[in-house]
Amino acid sequence: MQALYAQLLVGLINGSFYALLSLGLAVIFGMLNIINFAHGALYMMGAFCAYFLLNLGGINYWWALLLAPIIVGIFGMILERTLLQWLTGLDHLYGLLLTFGIALIVQGIFQNYFGSSGLPYAIPDQLRGGMNLGFMFLPIYRGWVVVFSLVVCLATWFLIERTRLGAYLRAATENPTLVRAFGINVPRMITLTYGLGVGLAALAGVLSAPINQVRPLMGADLIIVVFAVVVIGGMGSIMGSIITGFALGVVEGLTKYFYPEASNTVVFVLMVLVLLVKPTGLTGRAA
């Protein structure tokens, strides 16, 4: 039983990465109608950014948490301005393919310069060590990841669903012409939204840098799972993707205990089941 508690907690930790990443995807899909396949590559860029800040600029983890999302976010906004904005009004498929192409380019370039096996990034001194919870040894860093990502997720949700800015954003996706008539610069809002989604991915990258190897392909393995999370949660639903992200982490944690081989596959079993019962995902609106 003790072991089970431990697995649940560990699952929750993983869930926070899924939540952060799927949240970014959901924001982008909800506002831009683009399935952002480059999300994994941008997550990877966040981790690399933290590495460079530390090793080239001597800037520590805490500043990286702030700076990396901004830097990668700006990169994302440039992408949106130069490439993605031409996709308005086209089928999802084109957005998917374009971002897939971008992911290949970014990952390829990083691989060329930094190789495939990755770079080391240490846990910040303040968060080293762990505590004994009785049923398990919890590294402090992991605890920090859960708390921090939960806060970020809820803040994002609040920003979009409960503030005036968020209301503009949502209105701009529903009816851009009308919103423009009110004197709001819709293209700029869309660019900022993409930047926000990308920044969330980069933030997840920084958070994961001390736990996982900083590798060019670190996001490529993850993206398809995060996709599934977004679909299960209901495409474009902010709260749906946060809850599903954490929940999936827990389900995966349990699978790792009872049938570890299937832990990468269980998300797809869930996806089939959810889509059969509730076609638009757990909290989704109609397609």
Per-residue x/- track, 34-73, other proteins (CB under 8 A): -x--------------------------------------
> Which among 42, 104, 103, 32 is positioned nearest to 73, based on CA atoms?
42
The CB-of-193 to other proteins minimum distance in angstroms stands at: 18
Positions 142 through 171 that interact with other proteins (CB under 8 A): 142
Options 154-162, 192-200, 228-236, 240-248: segment touching other proteins (CB under 8 A): 228-236
Q: Which DSSP string corresponds to 53-93?
A: HHHHH---HHHHHHHHHHHHHHHHHHHHHHTGGGGTTS-HH
Instruction: Say whether residue 124 binds other proteins (CB under 8 A).
Output: no
Residue type, 227: F
**Interface residue with other proteins, options 67, 171, 184, 262 (CB under 8 A):** 262
| DSSP-based three-state secondary structure for 169 | helix
Query: Does an H or E element contain 183, and which?
Result: none
Instruction: Say whether residue 87 binds other proteins (CB under 8 A).
Output: yes
Contact status, residue 213 vs residue 224, Cβ threshold 8 Å:
no
Instruction: Say whether residue 287 binds other proteins (CB under 8 A).
Output: yes
**Interface residue with other proteins, options 1, 56, 112, 183 (CB under 8 A):** 112
Positions 164 through 223 that interact with other proteins (CB under 8 A): 208, 211-213, 215, 217-218, 221-222
Using CB under 8 A as the binding criterion, the count of chain residues that bind other proteins stands at 78
Rounded Cα gap, residues 200 and 204, in angstroms: 6
Our CB check for other proteins shows the closer of 137 and 182 to be 137
| DSSP single-letter state for residue 115 | T
Instruction: Say whether residue 107 binds other proteins (CB under 8 A).
Output: yes
Rg for the chain (alpha carbons), in Å? Answer: 19
What are 119's strand-pairing partners?
214
| DSSP-based three-state secondary structure for 130 | strand
Instruction: Say whether residue 272 binds other proteins (CB under 8 A).
Output: yes
**In whole angstroms, what separates CA 159 from the centre of its chain?**
17
**In whole angstroms, what separates CA 280 from the centre of its chain?**
21
**Interface residue with other proteins, options 51, 141, 194, 246 (CB under 8 A):** 141
The CB-of-180 to other proteins minimum distance in angstroms stands at: 19
**Interface residue with other proteins, options 1, 56, 93, 277 (CB under 8 A):** 93
Options 68-76, 91-99, 179-187, 195-203: segment touching other proteins (CB under 8 A): 91-99
